């Protein structure tokens, strides 16, 4: 089977080609782990693979709750999207808990 013009990132069971003896061979990047890649996968897909690249984390947002339990969030942007079966992007958003303590909340806990 041949992966020509058919390379898929990650695990994609729909990304296959007919192989020897009516068996399927795969052209997704997961085939390297399972060992069922088409013969031309390394030359057709991995050579041109570009992994995802992301920028730095932005600042944390303010607490979502001015008084009591809330959450903060931050994000980052994709600078280079993955192509040709390259490594997928990591998480682009993070969230963490916080405790809002605005002066108008009073002193009660």
Same domain, 19 and 35: yes
Beta strands in the chain (DSSP E): 16-18, 24-26, 53-54, 67-75, 78-80, 93-101
Q: pLDDT above 90 covers what percent of the chain?
A: 35
Same domain, 62 and 103: yes
* Residue 26 near residue 40 (C-beta atoms within 8 A): no
Q: For the chain, how are helix, strand and coil distributed in percent, rounded to 5?
A: 15, 30, 55
Same domain, 36 and 22: yes
Same domain, 42 and 57: no
pLDDT digits (tens, 9 = 90+) for 54-80: 999 999 999 999 988 999 999 999 999
Q: How many domains does the chain have?
A: 2
Same domain, 28 and 58: no
Per-residue pLDDT, 63? 92
pLDDT digits (tens, 9 = 90+) for 99-109: 988 888 875 55
Same domain, 61 and 101: yes
Domain that holds residue 58: 52-80+87-108
Q: Is 37 helix (H, G, I), strand (E, B) or coil?
A: strand
* Residue 4 near residue 44 (C-beta atoms within 8 A): yes
Same domain, 65 and 95: yes
- Decide which of 25 and 82 is more confident: 25
């Amino acid at each position: 089977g041949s992966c020509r013009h058919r390379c898929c990132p990650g695990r994609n069971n729909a990304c296959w080609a007919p192989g020897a003896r009516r068996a399927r061979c795969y052209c997704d990047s997961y085939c390297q782990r399972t060992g069922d890649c088409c013969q031309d996968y390394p030359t057709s897909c991995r050579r041109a693979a570009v992994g995802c690249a992301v920028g730095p984390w932005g600042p944390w947002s303010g607490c979502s709750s001015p008084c009591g339990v809330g959450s903060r969030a931050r994000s980052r942007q994709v600078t280079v999207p993955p192509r040709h079966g390259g490594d997928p992007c990591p998480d682009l958003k993070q969230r963490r808990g916080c405790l809002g303590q605005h002066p108008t909340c009073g002193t009660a806990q």
